[in-house]
Copies of this chain bind each other. A is one copy, B any other.
Amino acid sequence: MDQDRSCTSPRCRHALFRVCQNFFRKETLNKRVPISSWLPKYTVSTLFQDILAGFTVGLTEIPQGIAFAGIAGLSPEYGLYCGFMGGFIYALFGSCKDVNIGPTSIMALMLQDHISGLGPDMAITITFLAGIIIFILGLLNLGFVIEFFSYPIIAGFTCAASLQIASSQVKGLFGIPGKANAFLEAWESVFSNIDKIRLWDSVLGVLSIIFLVSLKEIRRFGTLQYREDWSRNRNILGIFLFMLSLARNALVVIIGTVISYSLRDDNPFKITGDVKSGFPPFEPPPFSTQVNGTNYNFRDMVQNYGPSLAFIPLVAILEAVSIAKAFSKGKPLDATQEMLALGLCNVMGSFVRSMPITGSFTRTAVNNASGVKTPLAGIFTSAMVLLAIGFLTPSFYYVPKATLASVIICAMFYLFDYDAFVVLWRSKKLDLVPFLTTLLCCLFISLEYGILIGIGVNLLFVLYASARPKLTITKEKISDSRGEVFVITPKDTLYFPAAEHLRDVVLTCEGENATVVVSGREIRNVDVTVAKSMAVFAKELVGRGQKVIFLDFKPSVVEVCVKVDLSLQKYFAEGPLDEIFENEPILSVQ
């Protein structure tokens, strides 16, 4: 009420009016609510293509959602709850037609540590908080932080995540009991329970994997575009094979479920069990929760999230933005808009009990391959997920766990970046260091610290380069009458980590009556530390009876140096060395 009242004051109303006016200017509206730019031009043929793509993606999203909820340690219905809000919101605010926002294996894995045993409320509240953080980072244009995720870091992180997720599913594939999810524990649990392998689960799991891999490979015999060089029948077959390949995850789950259902009286498989039916309530995320009789208030929850509160938003941005970039095909991408959209997807998702969501590479690729035309396809995907929540939950009861495990393991097989090691080894072995550091730390410490340590190690390279800038030293002889002339040319801008190095190098230039020339031609900038260092070594050289010239420095650099130490003025000179040496006074020793 108070707020309402204050906003009816004329001045306030005017300001509000201007903000609204500005927002509803056509360009701003098209930029911030992209649907306003493409919906007016929407056609019926586009609609059909979007429906086809949307449904195909839905067929992938439903089994993935159920499986990923398992990775996070949540019951299956949560995988569906997080599958529909992203599609609706992204259709309004997203700028890249292919992107599908929903559950991803990496988000699920990052969540795992913080909700295992603590129930779904923990997951939902972090969805809300992550959404807010992503939105704010977008508003403040701070998305550039993900530029510090270099290729070796991303590759190492992805490899570690896929290894860890796949490892956690091995026991599911063979029906081995156990709950361990961390990499080492998972294998330990598999080997210590190896006698408990269940025959039929293993058979189903292995067959499912073979089925999935075959269907994945079958795509190369298919097509979506009509091919002139093929006969009509071959083209129809091509389209069929192509769609079959795209829908393989759904197919394997359906077939597995049908088998499991038909054997229901004496079921030889471990099955998913009860999946809560009905739509989630639309309500604000819980800001306090109770787990096993312990109350967690908001502060306790935040404490439980710890560094994930920074890393879940960052990794979400990283996934969404890099996928959007990959599929924007040369069009410049508005990363800010992507972050705003992603933030809204998560905030709104938290109202329908969603876990954190972001762009999924698999489903975005399926979307693209299915010929999606606009983000509207997401609405059809979401509609399918909603249908599944409404009508299919009873049938999920019989989904064999081994099948879900096979879906995840196959996805991880293609997520794992095999090339990374080869590319890095072949092209630049030094970049293996951040790659392996990230990979090993992610596997054996935690994903968050793995990224952090990896980025730290990688930044050391950049810092080392600034601490040891390349510089050349040449010895010249100007005339017989004077001693040696050393010319030192730093090849880069100098920052403070280089200050001591420069001084050490300069002081090695010894010799009776020798002159040290520091060439500033390639120095664009110095900071005060470097300027101080220059003043110190200039005095030291003069004290040794040597001469100093700072040659051809940029005026802006000279200005900084002279303001740091006025006595530096007399050492600066310009022009060819010979001429300077004729003009002796500049060089006079104090």
Q: Which A residues from 447 to 491 make CB contacts under 8 A with B?
A: 458-459, 461-463, 465-467, 470, 491
Q: A330-B507, A332-B507, A431-B527 are in contact. Are A492 and B493 (CB under 8 A)?
A: yes
Q: Is A151 an interface residue (CB 8 A)?
A: yes
- Would B560 and A428 count as touching, CB distance under 8 A? yes
Q: Is A377 an interface residue (CB 8 A)?
A: no
Cα–Cα distance between A340 and B427 once the two chains are bound (Å) = 40
- Would B461 and A152 count as touching, CB distance under 8 A? no
Q: Considering only CB atoms, which chain B residue lies closest to A528 in the complex?
A: B431
Count of chain A residues with Cβ under 8 Å from any Cβ of B?
A: 56
- Would A427 and B147 count as touching, CB distance under 8 A? no
Q: Which A residues from 545 to 587 make CB contacts under 8 A with B?
A: 559-561, 563-564
Cα–Cα distance between A441 and B329 once the two chains are bound (Å) = 46
Q: Is A45 an interface residue (CB 8 A)?
A: no
Q: Is A495 an interface residue (CB 8 A)?
A: yes
Q: Which A residues from 481 to 517 make CB contacts under 8 A with B?
A: 491-493, 495-497, 499-501, 504, 507-508
- Would B528 and A423 count as touching, CB distance under 8 A? yes
- Would A427 and B531 count as touching, CB distance under 8 A? yes
Measured between beta carbons, the chain B residues less than 8 angstroms from A331 are 507
Cα–Cα distance between A426 and B539 once the two chains are bound (Å) = 22
- Would A466 and B467 count as touching, CB distance under 8 A? no
Measured between beta carbons, the chain B residues less than 8 angstroms from A537 are 330
- Would A529 and B152 count as touching, CB distance under 8 A? yes
- Would B147 and A499 count as touching, CB distance under 8 A? yes
- Would A462 and B541 count as touching, CB distance under 8 A? no
For residue A513, give the distance in angstroms from its CB to the closest CB of chain B. 15
Measured between beta carbons, the chain B residues less than 8 angstroms from A426 are 563
- Would A147 and B467 count as touching, CB distance under 8 A? yes
For residue A495, give the distance in angstroms from its CB to the closest CB of chain B. 5
- Would B495 and A563 count as touching, CB distance under 8 A? no
Cα–Cα distance between A507 and B332 once the two chains are bound (Å) = 6
Measured between beta carbons, the chain B residues less than 8 angstroms from A500 are 144, 147
For residue A80, give the distance in angstroms from its CB to the closest CB of chain B. 35
For residue A321, give the distance in angstroms from its CB to the closest CB of chain B. 9
Cα–Cα distance between A560 and B429 once the two chains are bound (Å) = 10
Q: A330-B540, A332-B508, A564-B423 are in contact. Are A428 and B495 (CB under 8 A)?
A: no
- Chain A interface mostly: helix
Q: A427-B563, A467-B147, A529-B152 are in contact. Are A491 and B524 (CB under 8 A)?
A: yes
For residue A438, give the distance in angstroms from its CB to the closest CB of chain B. 13
Q: Is A543 an interface residue (CB 8 A)?
A: yes
- Would B492 and A329 count as touching, CB distance under 8 A? no
Q: A330-B544, A428-B528 are in contact. Are A496 and B564 (CB under 8 A)?
A: no
Q: Is A148 an interface residue (CB 8 A)?
A: yes
Q: Is A424 an interface residue (CB 8 A)?
A: yes
Q: Is A532 an interface residue (CB 8 A)?
A: yes
Q: A544-B330, A560-B428 are in contact. Are A150 and B499 (CB under 8 A)?
A: yes
Q: A144-B467, A462-B462, A563-B426 are in contact. Are A150 and B529 (CB under 8 A)?
A: yes
For residue A147, give the distance in angstroms from its CB to the closest CB of chain B. 5
Q: A467-B144, A544-B330 are in contact. Are A496 and B527 (CB under 8 A)?
A: no
- Would B564 and A150 count as touching, CB distance under 8 A? no
Measured between beta carbons, the chain B residues less than 8 angstroms from A508 are 332
Query: Beta-carbon contacts of A308-337 to B below 8 Å, as 1s and 0s?
Result: 000000000000000000000111100000
- Would A466 and B470 count as touching, CB distance under 8 A? no
Q: Considering only CB atoms, which chain B residue lies closest to A501 in the complex?
A: B147
Measured between beta carbons, the chain B residues less than 8 angstroms from A152 are 528-529
- Would B528 and A151 count as touching, CB distance under 8 A? yes
Q: Considering only CB atoms, which chain B residue lies closest to A540 in the complex?
A: B330
Cα–Cα distance between A539 and B423 once the two chains are bound (Å) = 18
Q: Across the A-B interface, give the 7 residue pairs with the lowest CB-CB distance, nearest first.
A: A330-B540, A150-B496, A427-B563, A151-B529, A150-B529, A431-B528, A427-B564
Can you list 28 A-B contacts with CB-CB less than 8 angstroms, sorted by A residue number? A144-B467, A144-B500, A147-B497, A150-B496, A150-B527, A150-B529, A151-B496, A151-B499, A151-B529, A152-B528, A330-B537, A330-B540, A330-B543, A331-B507, A332-B507, A332-B508, A423-B564, A424-B528, A426-B563, A427-B528, A427-B560, A427-B561, A428-B560, A428-B564, A458-B496, A462-B497, A465-B525, A491-B524
Q: A332-B507, A463-B463 are in contact. List 8 more A-B contacts (CB 8 A).
A: A148-B496, A332-B508, A427-B528, A428-B531, A431-B529, A462-B462, A462-B463, A470-B524
